[in-house]
Structures are given as structure tokens and as C-alpha cells.
Structure 1
Amino acid sequence: MPFILPDGIEYVGLALISTQLVLLFQEITVGHWRKISKIKYPQLYAEKAEMEANPDAVTFNCAQRAHANTLENVPIILVGTLVTAMKYPIFAAVTCGLWSFSKFRYTRGYLKGADKRNSRGGILGSIMQLR
């Protein structure tokens, strides 16, 4: 029995690439705020005293947490997209692409403060994981 890929599977590939672009954007953002806040490697997060002394350290923590949240959810999205794509490739591509867009917005919102993250894409990303 031959394995036949459904029509529209190429869109799934593009959507999966979008997840990598979001991760790249987040890596660059974390590096940028790490440099500005002067948080040295291998320290993952700024400590309370560092955040009180330097507002940029708070933004660094927000960027780091947004990136970590995305890394925690990427396996769910990748597997869900690939499984869904076997029957509904366009739907899988659209939901994966929307998830990527939501994570971009989530990160941008999180950089403005932890209370802004859900209003900037967090809720949409959660909905896209439900498919």
C-alpha cells in the first residue's frame, strides 16, 4: 500500500517553518535583552535584586519566559500539526500559522509586562492547540 500525501501538504511545510521563525525571533530578542540588562551566561533569569536595580532585567525575564513558554508548547504544535495534516492539511497549516502569529504577538506583549501577554496573542495560541 503506497503512502500518498494529501493535496495541500506544502502549506503545512510553510506553517512548520513559521514556528522556527518565531523561535529565531525569540532567541534574538532574549539575546538583545540579555546584553542590555547585563545578565551573564549561564544565568537563566535576573534575580530579584537585579530586577529592582535595573528595569531592563525585568524585560529580559519576560523575554526569557516567553521563549521558554514557546519551547514548552512547540512539541504539541508540531505533532498536532503533522497528525492533523494527514487528513486536513489546509486546516493544519492555518492553525499552525495562527499559533506562530499568536506566539509572536504573545512575545511582543510580554515584553511590555507580564500582564500584557494574554491580550497580545496568548489566548489565540491556546485555542490553536485545541484542534
Structure 2
Amino acid sequence: MCQPRLRNIHSLFTIFEDSAKSVEGRMSVLEIQPEYGYCVLVAVGSSFMLVWKAMKVGQKRRELKIKYPTMYSPDNDLFNCYQRAHQNTLEMYPSFLTLLLLGGLHSPITSALCGVVYCAGRVVYALGYYTGDPKKRVRGGFGYLGLLGLLYTTGRLASQLLGWY
């Protein structure tokens, strides 16, 4: 009575073993290179950039006596510039981190450098906005070159995993 059950279990393991062997030849192995640490450092550094921007908004809020939970002031454009510089960076942050950390698996040094360019662009963007003249925010537009580089490195990772090159 026990014998048929054992045979069924053995058959089940054989099926798993055979399917694992067929996948094994096609499997990509991701190796995290030591240089990936640079991507991690850029990710950590970028969080300090967010804290700096949040502190600038809080400082301007106290200075101009704009109470919480008011997100944007109906009558103070300077505060709105500070708030917008921070908010826009927060809107892009999940995409930035995703691209940085995934692209870094394929090209860690290139991705880290692109991440630094992106973060530097976000700082210049904020400093331009902090003047009160929203047009000056475009000075930080070069940061998008870093983001494009991250799109490229992440695309390379995807194509490598799919065996396209």
C-alpha cells in the first residue's frame, strides 16, 4: 500500500529534476560585483539630498509662517518654489532608485556616475527654484542625462537576462 505512494513521490521529484535541468542551460546568473557598492553609496547620498530639500521647505515654512497642512500657499510664490523643488524630486525618486539599483547590476560604475549626475542636476534644479524665479530651475536639466544613462544600463541588464546579447 505504501509502495505506490512512494513511486508517485519519486515520479514527482523526477519531473522537478528534469525541468530544472532543462532550465539550467538557459539560466542567467547575476553576480553582484564589488563596484555595486558605489550604486549603494549613491542611493544613500541621494537620501541626504531629499532630507536637505525637506529641511529647506520646513525652514521656509517657518520663516513665512505657513502652517501645516498647507501644501502650497495661495499667496506666496517663493514658498511654492521651495515646495515644488522638493515635491518634483520626490515624484521622480522611485524611478531613479529603481533604475540606479537595477542598472547597477549590469554596469555598476556607469550607473553610479549617472546617479551622481542626476543628483547634481536635482541640487542645481532646487537652487534655481529657490531664487523664486521658476525659470531658473531649468539649469538643473542636465540631471536628466544621468537618468537617460540609467535607462540605458537598466535596458542592458534586461537584454542580457533575456539573452538578446
The two structures have a TM-score, normalised by structure 2, of: 0.69
Q: 2:39 aligns with which of 12, 19, 28?
A: 12
Three-state SS of the structure 1 residue aligned to 2:135 is helix
Contact kept, 8 Å, 2:81 with 2:129, in 1: the verdict is yes
Of residues 8, 23, 26 in structure 1, which corresponds to 2:53? 26
Q: Is the 8 A contact 2:114 2:145 kept in 1?
A: no
Gaps of 5+ in 2: 1-26, 150-165
1:3 shift after superposition: 5.2
CA contact (8 A) 1:76 1:129 kept: no
Gaps of 5+ in 1: 52-57
Q: What is the Cα deviation at residue 27 of structure 1? A: 0.4
Kindly provide the CA deviation profile for residues 25-62 of structure 1, in whole angstroms up to 9, marking residues without a partner as x: 10000001101111100000110xx22xxxxxx22110
Kept after mapping to 1: 8 A contact 2:38/2:108: yes
- Taking CA–CA contacts closer than 8 Å with sequence separation of 6 or more, which of the two structures ends up with the larger relative contact order? 1
**Structure 2: which amino acid aligns with 1:32?**
Q
Cα distance between partner residues in 2 of 1:21 and 1:74: 12
Question: Runs of 4+ in structure 1 displaced over 6 angstroms?
Answer: none
Match of 1:35 among 52, 62, 77: 62
Alignment length (residue pairs): 121
Counterpart amino acid of residue 92 in structure 2 = N
Matching residue of 2:97: 78
Query: What's the RMSD between the two structures over aligned residues?
Result: 1.4
Cross-structure match for 2:120: 101
